[in-house]
Structure 1
Amino acid sequence: MPEVAAAPAEVREVLGVPADRAVFEPLTHNPCNGVTAGVWRVTGGDRSAVLKVLTRTKETAVSWAASNDPRHWNFWRREAYVYGAGLAQVWQRYGIRAPRLLECAERPDGDVALWLEDVPGAPATAWSLTRHVDHAHRLGAAQGTVGAGEDTPWLSRRFLRDYTAGKTTGEALLDTDEAWQHPLIRRHFPPGLREDMVRLRHDREWFLTVMESLPRALCHLDQWPANLRADGPDAGVLLDWAFTGDGALGEDLGNYLPDCVFDLFVPAADLPGLAKAAYDAYVQGLRGSGWRGDEALVRLGVCASAVKYDWLAAMMLARADEEPVAYGGEGTVPAELRYRERGLALAYLAEWAAEARLLAPRLGFPEAPSGR
């Protein structure tokens, strides 16, 4: 049994077997996040569960450090509160739920252990495009009905602003000719992408202000295929509610779609078609739930959410000579494939950003700063 997971009483309570008869299988997660001490599938007898240990004492980079501020995007106890308050199940009637909480244990060292249902359904990393579109429809229905939770003190606030503020790797390289002449970059970053990414970084404050001024919704804020599993043919189970909080209507969808490509779950060539179908389904879900707002504001929320990735091009410039590591540090991916797919996806996000700059003034927002 891993030391950080050691809790014989918890194993017996949840699985009904002695701890020495339980098998701990490490699960892929972000090892940089200071909130997460570890994640395991624990099997004992004919039962299994997922154990996630939350902590505030893990040493990590400042950009991923755990926070004691309940409004901070990386508040270390938030996920325990989300489960304990039942908030993780508020979208269940619309076909999106969280794993069932089996036990929440406060440990003597101050850590919190979440014992969760081991969901057997197929991960969204292997879903068809149609299944992704179905999820967008369910998400629209849920966010059109459930309020933003303004009075809940431990939901995150200003997620986009604070999350992106810590992403500075390679920032200076955006204006460096040599970085853009790297063979990998020249082969796979489309013409014009440099100017688009420089402008997106330059306009960051404008985009963030727009996003913070749009209609609000309860948002998961970490929706991507690795955090979603099937729950039968017409529903999904959404994992990892650690960032949950206030966001713009459309922000979760604006995160989900590019992440399908960035981590190689959907080919970049399919992104335009997927994004159109998913957006239409999301709006249909909103309307079906009774939402009667201005659809143009939703479109602006999706397009302006491109600002979440204003740092990604710079980071890729900085790491062009490194072997790309897969999510969770498990193995590598071909550099040519990653740079080609991400280059195309970033170019698509530049189109979103351009659309947001045109749309916002028509809706009463100030115009974006002039291009550099």
Structure 2
Amino acid sequence: MGNITEAEARDVLGRSTGPVSATPLTHNPKNGVTAGVWTVTAGERTAVLKVLTRTKEATGRWAASDDPRHWNYWLREARVYDSGLAQSWRPYGIRAPRLLARVERADGDVALWLEHVRGEPGTAWPLARHIEHARRLGAAQGAASVPDEPWLSHRFLRQYVASNTVGEELLDDDAAWQQPLVRDHFPAGLRQDMVRLHHDREWFLDVMEALPRAFSHLDQWPANVRTQGRDSVSFDWAFAGDGALGEDLGNYLPDSVFDLFVPAADLPGYAARAYDAYLHGLRESGSRVDERLVRLGLCASVVKYDWLTAAMLARAGEERQLDYGGERAVSAELRYRERGLTLAFLAGWAAEARALAPQVGFPEAPSGR
């Protein structure tokens, strides 16, 4: 079974007489820190196995790092579980799967054996459940400061954005914007808005790094959450670290649409209700942070998607478009329409951030002068 040994499975799941079987789970196969993720069953017991590695071949941005502050530090997720930080949001209704075992393997890899959470995946949640998750996230992030651990990611957003360079040269290429998928499905004016966002990138990053901080997951999106009873269970803590208040929500909301879990037509109302819920959670936790700073954190987090427009220009000629994990084909027309509408919505966030920042003491964006 490759990365799954029967002896290890039986040590963790018990010496059942039943056979050991494994089913691969959807994940990002390009990431060099992940050797694989499986649901493993031995007899009547089931767990999730995630193997962390630094020896997997990965090119460019997805290469594993040995730097504990790097956004793609290979051992971070194990550290988050070992320290208990993965469960630090539990009082507010968000928890991680229980860690059943951490196995140091002879080849240097680390196997995380995790509780198999059987609840409804966030990819199938109704909007009301996403909004409740936003409230819980606000309560959790308003209750505590960023832990002082040397292996938590630092300046994640700056590193992540800088690592995404695919298609940057196409932003000013007339022919790239005339490709049928782009021409027919991107809203009018999107080119100007996204080119401006790219040119203002350093300003947005500076703003995000100066805002009030929170312990952040930094990969919050519907595919990384499930229900378990009354709890939200959050997976994949590999990027966890220092973020701005509002940053996790600013990732969760557009990713709900980018990967076709929520229709783009629902995004304006959904985002407004989720932000109000997040702010309500902050106040429930006792946080008295200036609401304008929270709003700025949400809106300025749009800089994370600076790379996406360029990447879509680069991929508009691909005949076959695949979903996350590369397992199934998706409609290229649907993807480009929904993402185009979402990018146009995010351009509104960018404009709001430029207007709001000077009101709370930040310099104006360069292109706004």
Answer whether TM exceeds 0.5 for this pair.
Answer: yes
Match of 1:222 in 2: 219
Equivalent-residue separation in structure 1 for 2:3 and 2:40 (angstroms): 13
Q: 2:257 aligns with which of 249, 255, 261?
A: 261
Distance 2:175 2:60 in 1: 28
Contact 2:32/2:64, CA 8 A, preserved across alignment: yes
Shift of 1:5: 2.3
Checking the alignment, whether the CA contact within 8 Å between 1:199 and 1:371 is kept in structure 2 is no
Q: Conserved in 2, the CA contact under 8 Å of 1:90 and 1:146?
A: no
Q: 1:195 matched to which residue of 2? A: 192
Cα distance per residue 1:248-303 (max 9 Å; x no partner): 00000000000000000000000000000000000000001100110000000000
Q: How far is 1:12 from its partner?
A: 1.2
Identical aligned residues as a percent: 70
Alignment of 1:132-171 (within 5 A): 132-149=130-147, 151-171=148-168
Residue number in structure 2 paired with 1:55: 53
Q: For the Cα contact (< 8 Å) 1:71–1:155, is it kept in 2? A: yes
Tell me whether 1:305 sits opposite 2:304 in the alignment. Answer: no
Structure 1 gap segments, 5+ residues each: none
Distance 1:119 1:229 in 2: 7
- One-letter amino acid of the counterpart of residue 99, structure 1: P
- Of 112, 117, 134 in structure 1, the residue corresponding to residue 110 of structure 2 is 112
Matches within 5 A, 1:235-250: 235-250=231-246
One-letter code of the match for 2:216?
A: C
Equivalents in 2 of 1:346, 1:371: separation in Å?
A: 20
Q: Secondary structure at the match of 1:280?
A: helix
Answer yes or no: is 1:321 the counterpart of 2:320.
no
Secondary structure at 2:49 match in 1: strand
1:294 to 279, 290, 294: 290
Separation in structure 2 between the aligned mates of residue 199 and residue 371 of structure 1, nearest angstrom: 10
Equivalence for 2:354: 357
Give the drift of 1:235. Answer: 2.1
C-alpha distance in 2 between matches for 1:125 and 1:136: 15
Q: Secondary structure in 2 aligned to 1:34?
A: coil
**Aligned partners of 1:130 and 1:364: how far apart in 2?**
35
CA contact (8 A) 2:354 2:368 kept: no
Alpha carbons 1:5, 1:53 under 8 Å: kept? no
- Equivalent position of 2:339 in the other structure: 342
Q: How far is 1:9 from its partner?
A: 3.0
Runs of 4+ in 1 over 6 A off after TM superposition: none
Q: How many residues align?
A: 368
Look up the match of 1:277.
273
Q: CA RMSD in A?
A: 1.2
Name the amino acid aligned to 1:252: D
Alignment partner of 1:174 out of 171, 192, 196? 171
Rounded to whole Å, the distance in 1 between the matches of 2:72 and 2:294 is: 26
Give the Å deviation of 1:20. 8.6
Counterpart of 2:4 in structure 1 is 5
Check whether the contact 1:123–1:228 (CA below 8 A) recurs between aligned residues. Answer: yes
Pairwise CA distance, 1:18: 6.6
User: 1:75 corresponds to which residue?
Assistant: 73
Structure 2: how far apart are the matches of 1:314 and 1:370?
20
1:30-65 per-position Cα deviation (integer Å, ceiling 9, x unaligned): 000000000000011111000000000010112001
1:37 corresponds to: 35
Which residue of 2 is the match for residue 367 of structure 1?
Answer: 364
State whether residues 221 and 247 of structure 1, in contact with CA within 8 Å, keep that contact through their aligned partners in structure 2.
yes
Correspondence for 2:20? 22
- SS class of match (1:99): coil
CA distance in 1, matches of 2:180, 2:95: 45
Contiguous gaps of at least 5 residues in structure 2: none
State the SS of the aligned residue for 2:129.
helix
CA distance in 1, matches of 2:196, 2:52: 38
Cα distance in structure 1, aligned partners of 2:128 and 2:55: 42
Is the partner of 1:190 in helix, strand or coil?
Answer: coil
Normalising by structure 1, report the TM-score: 0.97
Give, in whole Å, the separation in 2 of the partners of 1:208 and 1:270.
Answer: 28
Checking the alignment, whether the CA contact within 8 Å between 2:10 and 2:42 is kept in structure 1 is no
